[in-house]
Amino acid sequence: MKISILTPTYNRKKLLKRLYTSLLENSKYEVDIEWLIMDDGSTDNTKEIVKEFIKENKIKIKYYKQENQGKMSAINKLVTEATGDLIIDCDSDDYFTHNAFEIIKEEYNKYKNEENIYGLCFLKYDQNNNNMGNEFKNIKTTMFDLYFKEGETGEKAIVFFSNIRKKYKHELEHNERFVTEARMYHKMDEKYKIICINKPVMICEYQEEGYTKNIEKQFKENPYGYYEYFKEILQRDMKGVNFKKRLYVIKHYILFSYLVKKYNSKIINGVTNKIVYFLLIIPGILKSISFRNKKT
């Protein structure tokens, strides 16, 4: 079994050593490891650090470089280069548990021949050994149902079956540099399901400059991608999605549709009643005005 680890990085040379060490620790489980790194224009000698890893010749490492095109562009390119049976996106502030690949190997052998499955979804812990979300309620589900109908929260570690993952990419709109991963997951949900396993395989340490820490900045800089994301959610079967989640989606659809000047009230029809709609539309418009006027 071969695993391709995809890591986009920007000025994170100090963190790459930790991830590298965790990969070495997992190499004892008779797994062929391929680590693909995309340097997105780093200025902190990331290339030199990676060269040292490559020189050690302990695992297969491929280094690529692009100039400030963003995380999603980096992942799209690395997916095309991956040759493993499995693909795992692993940010530079993430690293693997000491027995992650043993667990992944065991679960992959269990489910690899099951039809219409695009991967395995594991738990992700923080550095204090706390689960970053809830435990899974169902073994087989979709990412949309997991977060919008089953009450899941927090990040997960997703192990993709390579033959399915290579059919999809992160769709960037209007030369934007970021789009939520969930947009691609939801497209995969249309044909496939994912197996959920209540075991941790990855540890995360959020950085102050990371994407998740700066969500409002991401919203403002990438409105077209978020507009498409929330529009696509509203066009899905919302049966089973609770009222609070519906409000969240509608509010953000209104916000981004006004930011990109593509508002269409028909998309909201059937998702909620007119009273709720009118209660949300004014705050949504005001928020879009605030976004336009606020400095990044």
Is a pLDDT exceeding 60 seen at residue 212? no
Q: Which domain holds residue 273?
A: 214-293
- In the DSSP assignment, the letter for residue 124 is E
> Which residues touch 73 (CB under 8 Å, ≥6 apart)?
66, 170, 172, 177
Percent of the chain with pLDDT strictly greater than 70? 86
Final residue belonging to a domain, choices 164, 188, 209:
209
Same domain assignment for residues 171 and 225: no
Domain check: are 75 and 172 in the same one?
Answer: yes
Q: CATH number of the domain that 42 lies in?
A: 3.90.550.10
Q: What is the pLDDT of residues 156-192, one digit of tens each?
A: 999 999 999 999 999 999 999 999 999 999 999 999 9
pTM of the model: 0.90
Clarify whether residues 176 and 125 are in a common domain.
yes
CA distance 139 to 195: 6
40 and 146 within one domain: yes
pLDDT at 271 exceeding the cut of 80: no
Same domain? 171 vs 272 = no
159 lies in the same domain as 259 = no
Domain limit, last residue, from 162, 186, 209? 209
Question: What's the Cα-to-Cα distance from 139 to each of 25, 103, 115, 151, rounded to whole Å?
Answer: 28, 16, 15, 14
Looking at the structure, do residues 44 and 175 belong to the same domain, yes or no? Answer: yes
Res 55 pLDDT > 70: yes
Q: Do 77 and 9 fall within a single domain?
A: yes
Q: Are residues 158 and 274 in the same domain?
A: no
122 and 225 both lie in a single domain: no
Q: What pLDDT score was predicted for residue 274?
A: 54
- In this prediction, residue 116 has a pLDDT band, given cuts at 50, 70 and 90, of very high
Position 245 scores a pLDDT of: 92
Q: What pLDDT, on the 0 to 100 scale, is given for residue 238?
A: 87
- What pairs with residue 197 in β-bridges? 122
Same domain assignment for residues 107 and 155: yes
Q: Which of 139, 174, 209 is the last residue of a domain?
A: 209
Cβ atoms of residues 252 and 291 within 8 Å: no
Average pLDDT over residues 110-139: 95
Q: Kindly state whether residues 97 and 64 are assigned to the same domain.
A: yes
Which of 50-64, 224-238, 279-293: highest mean pLDDT? 50-64
Total number of domains constituting the chain: 2
